[in-house]
A and B are shown apart, each in its own frame.
Chain A
């Protein structure tokens, strides 16, 4: 109560009244319509990017997230199994071996077969025994 009285006394002091009169005497500053209109336009312009940002935030981002999660799930669920190369190569090797044998036999006839070309190739040429005839 005592504090309240002190505040009232200060507000009713000469200095404070003078300041109050001075403020009352200031002209009333009413904002013009054109300024208001400009302000509205600026607010609208600022609001649009915010809306686009929201769309990105609430739709695209979750969609990307869901897509990544789905892809991860697919990779985990349908994890590619290593192809059975052993099995497939054995069967294809058998057919290729047979087919090669048929093809090359058509060409080589009585001559060297492909296997013989590999297996019986002499590392060094065999000396021709007829060359020794020169000695006599």
Chain B
């Protein structure tokens, strides 16, 4: 009984703090962005969107069927898609990705609200270094939009959001790299706003499903490549989102991607020698880096500059008994 009561108090308090934080961050921001933030948890719609990313030299376009009921979202894929049969269901607690061919579900931290809130947080933190402007956008999914353009001090575009001024829905988003090339975008091709969405759509029941978490993957990969099993402490607010090995043809580098209150952090470990000055040279903008060595393995932490960053780096080093 007490634990249930405590849980309720914590939940209400966190929601209140979250709301207050949103309000504080949104101060001084364009009205259209405030509208998008305020409606983010209450929109109900079904629609089709195209996600395009230019990753590792290849363009990838994916069609997603979106069903959204406030802070819950379900994503299905067309029958002729390479992802047909897969289902993603996300709520404020977690994101579950069902993979029918593997008969498994991958449980990850939620992602949806992250991008909008991170944009707002970034604008609040780097107010002097960002230019935000609003103008008439194009017609997206049959609806006239307002274009929110986020640029750097010199006016180079960083992100474009096409927002429906009636509903606050972000109907198109585009992100640019340092040389102004679009690295990724999504765009709704159709959208239908609803009064009610069937709650059953957010439940998936399938017997015998194997549950896979990024923690279990990180553990397996660390053992396979004779690296250390480490994690950012959960009480820091950061949650492990994925674990993968990059450059598997050479000396393996294990990359652990975390999302949290100050953005995204990546913890790397490898037996290859690392040069801290080179790492910081490649990092641009607000990216901080830290390297250390422990037990013959080199570690690197990469993420946005913040007090959190230094605290987490110190904690990881201490936990590993680093030099």
Q: Which residues of A contact B (CB under 8 A)?
A: 86-88, 90-117, 120-122, 125-126, 128
Contacts and interface: CB of A to CB of B under 8 A. Distances in A.
A87 B183 contact: no
B264 interface: yes
Interface of B: 49, 51, 53, 55, 60, 62, 64, 73, 75, 79-86, 88, 90, 95, 97, 99-101, 110-112, 114-115, 118-119, 159, 173-175, 177, 183-186, 242, 244, 246-247, 250, 253, 255, 257, 259, 263-264, 266, 268, 270, 272-275, 278-279, 281-283, 287, 289, 300, 302-303
A114 B53 contact: yes
B186 A98 contact: no
Question: What are the 5 A-B residue pairs with the smallest beta carbon separation, nearest first?
Answer: A126-B85, A107-B184, A110-B112, A121-B82, A95-B282
B75 A110 contact: yes
Contacts of A128: 79, 84-85
A88 B272 CA distance: 11
A125 B177 contact: no
Contact of A114 (B60, B82, B110, B278): B60
Contacts of A121: 82-83
Given A100-B55, A101-B266, 19 more contacts: A91-B282, A94-B253, A95-B287, A98-B303, A104-B55, A105-B115, A106-B115, A106-B173, A107-B173, A107-B186, A108-B53, A110-B110, A112-B83, A117-B55, A120-B99, A122-B101, A125-B81, A125-B84, A126-B84
8 contacts: A87-B273, A90-B270, A100-B55, A106-B159, A106-B173, A117-B55, A122-B83, A122-B101
Q: Is the interface of A mostly helix, strand, loop or mixed?
A: helix
A92 B282 contact: yes
B268 A101 contact: no
A96 to B, nearest CB: 8
Contact of B82 (A90, A99, A125): A125
